[in-house]
Amino acid sequence: MDKYCFAADIGGTTIKMGLFSPAGDIVDKWEIPTKKEDGGSHILEDIADAVKGEMAARNLTADQILGIGVGAPGPVDKDGVIHRAVNLGWDVLNISEKLGALTGMKVMAGNDANVAALGEMWKGGGEGFKDLVVVTLGTGVGGGVIIDGKIVTGCMGAGGEIGHIHVEDDEEDSCGCGNKGCLEQYASATGVVRLAKKKLKTSDKDSVLRTQEVNAKTVFDAVKASDPLAMEIAEEFGEYLGKGLAVIASVTNPEVFVIGGGVSKAGTVIIDYVEKYYKKYVFHASRDAKFKLATLGNDAGIYGAARLLYQ
């Protein structure tokens, strides 16, 4: 770790860029727009330009740079090939090879959720652990499974797709993936809203949620204010997520679960509900897994992308 390192976390609207020092500290971070036109063919060029611009501005030479780490929104295999990123207009694309050719640098790439998980392990809520699962409760439910410090990529880059763990046999609505009863349908921000709307219909209980916009934040704010109906919603949320994480524990037996994403901004109240049901469903040998909140927020991706190079 004696060289600088660039990081790029490619999202649907912006690319988060970062420069990391030889000590692994963040030196600079900035954003550039994600140009989706022409099948996303300018995206890697823009990253290459951003890297070169930053090097010129800081008088950095090529031999001072370890390489570029990239997080991208789709399944990325061990060779840095992404297999379709619908959000970017990409089909099969070898990120490592193409960005490497544009910059002359070593490029390592991974799935954005997996890379963010690595960031949380390196400098976030999972610091100090090597066997962990990072769960991102955002618009969807993403995640990263890390074993002995390394991301579980899977043979098709679909390791850690924990939002699509089946947790409900009786679901009638379809998940975005086409299946029914996926964890994402209950534990994502939109999932919490679904649970809330259903509960508001089927229950007679009074609630502050009847008089305000229903979203993950208002639901958990109401939970903190001891709103009985909101607390019922939180129980359902906790049962689905706890059940899903218990299943993961039967597969990889992690030391810690790190919970991040927009929904987790509600704080430790989330963990209280999840851990209760985790303990109900989990095999006894995994009962003592720890639960922590993610700490890096939107920067987890660039931290993890840099970490791809440093590991």
Q: State the residues that interact with a second copy by CB under 8 A.
A: 75, 83, 131, 145, 147, 152-162, 164-166, 168-169, 177-179, 243, 246-255, 281, 283-286, 288-289
Could you list the beta-strand ranges (E) of 54-182: 65-72, 81-85, 90-94, 107-111, 132-137, 141-147, 150-151
Q: Among residues 46 and 131, whose Cβ is nearest to a second copy?
A: 131
- What would the DSSP string read from start to end of 209-253? GGGS--SHHHHHHHHHTT-HHHHHHHHHHHHHHHHHHHHHHHHH-
Shortest distance in whole angstroms from residue 243 CB to a second copy: 6
State the minimum distance, in angstroms, from the CB of residue 280 to a second copy: 8
Q: Walk across the sheet containing 4-10 and list its strands.
A: 26-33, 14-20, 4-10, 65-72, 107-111
Measured from the CB of residue 113, what is the shortest distance to a second copy in angstroms? 12
User: Is the Cβ of residue 16 or residue 243 nearer to a second copy in the bound state?
Assistant: 243
Nearest approach, Cβ of 310 to a second copy (angstroms)?
A: 20
Shortest separation between residue 249's beta carbon and a second copy, angstroms: 8
| Cβ 307 to a second copy shortest distance, Å | 18
For a second copy, the closer of residues 199 and 243 by Cβ is 243
- Tokens representing 89? 């207009």
Nearer to a second copy, 17 or 175 (CB): 175
**Amino acid letter for position 162:** I
- Cβ closer to a second copy: 177 or 225? 177
When the beta carbons of 114 and 207 are compared against a second copy, the nearer one is 114
Rank residues 55 and 183 by Cβ distance to a second copy and give the closer one.
183
Distances (CA, A) of 281 to 128, 139, 273: 26, 25, 13
Give the length of the chain: 311
Q: Shortest gap between Cβ of 181 and a second copy (angstroms)?
A: 8
Decide: helix, strand or coil at residue 122.
Answer: helix
Question: What gap in Å lies between CA 51 and CA 62, rounded to an integer?
Answer: 11
Q: Which two tokens stand for residue 167?
A: 């947790």
Largest CA distance in the chain: 67
Among 25, 80, 32, CA closest to 54: 32
Say what angle helices 189-202 and 228-252 make with each other, to 10 degrees: 140
